[in-house]
Structure 1
Amino acid sequence: MKNMLHKWLVIIFITYISRSKVKSDENEVKLQKYLFANPDYHYMARPVKQTNTKIWANFSLSISQIVSIDMRNEAVTTSIWPTQEWYDEYMQWNPEDFGGITNTGVSPDRIWKPEIVLYNNVDGRFEVEFQSRVQIGYRGNCLWAPPTIFKTHCKINAQHFPYDEQFCPLTFLSFDYDYTQVEIVSKFSEGDYTGDQYWHSSEWSIMSARTETYLTSCASCLTNNHSAVTVMLHLKRKPLFYSVNLVLPILMVSILTVMSFYLPSECCEKITLTVTVLLSVTMLLLIVSKMVPKTSYHVPLLNMYLIFILLLVSFSLIGKTLFHIQISDF
């Protein structure tokens, strides 16, 4: 008897939960139909009832990971969560009419968005690929935070490589609207640029990040005054790998270079050691040259040091050769 009663209670509970869920889904469908039934609303037009009303778009981002920095091509790849918030005058409802629903999510291709895009990308991808749902509150406040991976241009200063620091900008602007229609407001906090899910890079550390909002123009824009925001990332390289695998061998070759001068000129092994050092320096110079960008603005100090050793060893080898030629003549 107790088992039968227990089974009936479970069945009644499951039925109640199922009905509540169906009722909730019905309210959700009813709300979605209500929001987009307005003939005055179109996802391509700004959601304002007065033409001269400006839309303020709050913008912030959370950095998930510094994926990589391509030194040769001067490009940085980052995984971020850009967040956009704005007010839509048409996306409003009374929660009591829809089962107490206070917020809902809609597909981003059905609702107007501020069209804030990454302007300084290097791969032609201005918008995000993953189209997550836009969250809408019953008072018309909209929030969109799609995760994405961006590849942007970053001017590399390799003068102090591998103990260098880089400043890489991420520039976002409202592409389709000037500042009288849409203006970006930065909600980015300099001390909170990484989220809880931040993955620390094994090569780079984020030292700081600061933002700047301003008006700018772009090649494809209809007007010259578009609202933009730039997030400047201050990155510092973790030099342990290069210290062990590059700087330490260079120091050892430098010691051998000095030791070659202590060998007497009559010693035949002196030329052999000098040639070996010369080849080693040349190889290290090629390795460093392949790591840094092809630019005329900055020459790495490590390159200059290797070139100095290369010249020193070369002149030393020439002098030893001439010395042996003179001895052989006598």
Structure 2
Amino acid sequence: MSALRTLAFLAFLAGVSSSQTLDCSYLGLLSHLNLMTTNEVLSIMRPVKNWTSSTLVELDMLMYGILGVDEKTQTVTSHIWLQMRWKNEFLTWNPSDFCEIYMLTVPRSKLWIPDVNIREDASDTGSVQQSPLVSLYPSGFVYANGRKRLTFTCQLRLFKFPFDTQNCNITFSSANYDVFNIILGTVQSDTTLSSLSERVMITQGEWQLIKLETINQTSTKYNQPQSELIYRVTITRKPMLYVVNLIVPLLYFLILDLASFFISEARGEKLGFKVTVLLSISVLLLILQDMLPSTEDTLPMIEPAGAEGRGQVSPVKSHLPADCPRDHDLLRLILEEVKAARQEAGRKDEKKKKPGRYERLALIIDPVFFALYLLTIIVFLVFIYHGWV
């Protein structure tokens, strides 16, 4: 029994002495990692013990806002959240030696940060909001978080407008390191990043995020191979606004234009109705021209042509003799009046015959033109349907 008591007492003394040697403060860990003073080596040198080893920089991007798409400048504005992870081989510790400290935050200025930029970036630097701190873990992994109001260029294809789907690339690459120094990758999979982006999405406007895809590739820049990480963002337009405000009115005017063939030409209502429909479509085309980008083919310009009506009135002149005429003079005057009346009646008959010929010609042309017009509309609508679907 005395021997057991002696062993228990010695174990207790060993535990007390070991607990007294443990440093449970952040100061002790910072001192152990040589971060108490300014260490320029850790901030300027790529954190590898062997320079031939590459640094794997893993970058996850979440898109939590689609602010707008500018078709004229071919740019997309969005809110993104970025998290970079890499390993610093000089900053490792055993958590059991520091009272199970599993994470440490240090200023960004004290550590080496990968110089990763975005090739398609068209935004200003003031929109970047980076955390002044980075998280350091016992295995040496460093996490740096930041969010950005990103405006990036995108080649928009508007052939199927307003039922279009756009694929835009956001390319991450290093500005100074080649593929032998930095290799870019991701921590999460494409499916996880797409699901998280849809979950945290706060605003989309008239666009909806479909998916995020990641592509790893190596490109050559200045005769040096560089690692690139491409995020392919797929977004689709919500077309209901354009269907209600643009497509439905155009179909309505198309039906009215077809109905104008059944209007009689007798009083000129058909011409006035056609001009009204033409002017209405011209206004809609001007609105559509403001919606579409200037880089696309120019929309048809409709110039209203005015027809000038010219009418001539022939005054009838009557001459009264100053003196009372004699019989033969009176007869000659009556004969001339009769000849003039017959000539005037002949001209009126000719004027009545000419519109008759034109009317018969119009009765032949009008059904043929209506059939061709209807066939053209059907072919156009079928082509548009197959193009959109």
Common topology (TM > 0.5): yes
1:184 is matched with 184
TM-score, length basis structure 1: 0.77
Secondary structure of the corresponding residue to residue 214 of structure 2: strand
2:206 is matched with 203
- Corresponding residue to 2:218 among 208, 215, 218: 215
- Any gaps of 5 or more consecutive residues in structure 1? 1-23
Identity %, equivalent residues: 24
2:67·2:203 contact (CA, 8 Å) conserved in 1?
A: no
User: 1:240 is matched by which residue type in structure 2?
Assistant: M
- Label 1:286 to 1:66 Cα distance change in 2 as closer, same or farther (>3 A): same
2:131·2:144 contact (CA, 8 Å) conserved in 1?
A: no
1:5 is matched with none
- Label 1:99 to 1:223 Cα distance change in 2 as closer, same or farther (>3 A): farther
1:119·1:126 contact (CA, 8 Å) conserved in 2?
A: no
- Label 1:131 to 1:66 Cα distance change in 2 as closer, same or farther (>3 A): same
1:27 is matched with 25
What does 1:124-203 correspond to in 2, within 5 Å?
A: 124-125=124-125, 128-192=128-192, 193-195=194-196, 196-199=199-202, 201-203=204-206
CA RMSD of aligned residues (A): 3.0
Q: Distance in 2 between matches of 1:136 and 1:114?
A: 15
How much does 1:33 deviate?
A: 4.4
Secondary structure of the corresponding residue to residue 285 of structure 1: helix
2:277 is matched with 277
How much does 1:261 deviate?
A: 2.7
In the comparison of the two structures, how many residue pairs are matched? 288
Name the stretch that deviates more: 233-242 or 131-140: 131-140
Secondary structure of the corresponding residue to residue 101 of structure 2: coil
Question: Comparing both structures, which one devotes a greater share of its residues to helix?
Answer: 2
Q: Distance in 1 between matches of 2:124 and 2:227?
A: 20
Q: Distance in 2 between matches of 1:149 and 1:141?
A: 27
Q: With a CA cutoff of 8 Å and minimum separation of 6, indicate the structure with the bigger relative contact order.
A: 1
- Label 1:325 to 1:188 Cα distance change in 2 as closer, same or farther (>3 A): farther
How much does 1:270 deviate?
A: 2.5
Secondary structure of the corresponding residue to residue 85 of structure 1: strand
Q: Distance in 2 between matches of 1:148 and 1:242?
A: 30
1:132·1:144 contact (CA, 8 Å) conserved in 2?
A: no
Name the stretch that deviates more: 144-153 or 192-201: 192-201
1:55·1:183 contact (CA, 8 Å) conserved in 2?
A: yes
How much does 1:189 deviate?
A: 2.1
Secondary structure of the corresponding residue to residue 201 of structure 2: strand
TM-score, length basis structure 2: 0.66
2:337 is matched with none
- Any gaps of 5 or more consecutive residues in structure 2? 1-22, 314-349, 352-389
How much does 1:194 deviate?
A: 4.1
Name the stretch that deviates more: 48-57 or 188-197: 188-197
Name the stretch that deviates more: 171-180 or 93-102: 93-102
Secondary structure of the corresponding residue to residue 112 of structure 2: coil
Post-superposition CA distance 1:249-279 (Å, at most 9, x none): 1111212222223222333333322222222
2:64 is matched with 64
Post-superposition CA distance 1:172-210 (Å, at most 9, x none): 112221111111123352222242322252411222222
Q: Distance in 2 between matches of 1:217 and 1:77?
A: 28
2:46 is matched with 46
How much does 1:127 deviate?
A: 9.0
